[in-house]
Amino acid sequence: MYYYIIVALQAYCIYHAYKNQKPYYWYFLIFFIPVFGSLIYVITQVYNKNDADKIQGEITSIINPTKKISDLENKIEFSDTYTNRIELADAYVQNNDMPNAIVQYKKTLEDIDQNDLYARQRLVLCYFQMKDYNGVVEHANKIKHKSEFKGSKQQFCYGLALKELGKLEEAEVQLKEVDRPYSNYDERLELAKFYLESNRTTEGKALLQEIASESENMTKPNRRIYRATIIEVERLLKTL
């Protein structure tokens, strides 16, 4: 049990360092000095009294992900509110249980006094992960007029779903919305592939070259994050 606590603490610290773009020396300290390195990181970079309960909860979730779900289910039995159901749905997503997450998100839509944007956004992602493209389109259509949808992950999934459903012209409109320089590298790679699959080699090659050029100016952390994307871009360029 002691070993799992150490691993969970390391995992949390590495995740926190990555999420908050901490200097690289923290990764070495956390990884090579597991106990003391992690404790030093938590004390100096994370910990304050207001965050203590949150940190404990996240570490517990890593060790026993189903406990958080059980606690939230009990919480709903006591108080069935919109917020509690959203929290439960999010917990199901974290546990990679998309069917149950969908049930909970859709349940929140019954509360007409609440803004449905967040639940719809999450439903789009859940359905996409399940490859239920009709479900993606259904919920994306409900929010595609909102400003938060433009250039979002949901819009990208919407475009790919339309592509899978054979609605190529509609798909291109959505996919082009996420084509933004120096960002959305994975999404732009998919758009380039879309052009190539549609026999629009010139457009596909131009976008791949654009991504390749931008990758040369990436910071080291970003090059590591998008390493697989860069490799795929270079591979495709060699075939053209």
pLDDT the model gives residue 3: 67
**What CA–CA distance (Å, rounded) separates 191 from 207?**
8
pLDDT the model gives residue 20: 78
Q: What angle do CA 196, 199, 204 make, to 5 degrees?
A: 35
- Residues 194-210 pLDDT 10s: 999 999 999 999 999 99
pLDDT the model gives residue 48: 53
- CB-facing half-sphere around the CA of 138: CA atoms within 13 A: 11
Residue (of 40, 46, 72) closest to 59 by Cα position: 46
Cα 193 → chain centroid: 21
User: Looking at this protein, which amino acid is placed at residue 205?
Assistant: K
- Residues 181-238 pLDDT 10s: 888 999 999 999 999 999 999 999 999 999 999 999 888 888 888 999 999 999 999 9
pLDDT the model gives residue 211: 95
Contact of 178 with 155, CB cutoff 8 Å: yes
User: Could you say which residues of the chain have pLDDT below 50?
Assistant: 49-50
Phi, then psi, of 83 in degrees rounded to 5: -60, -45
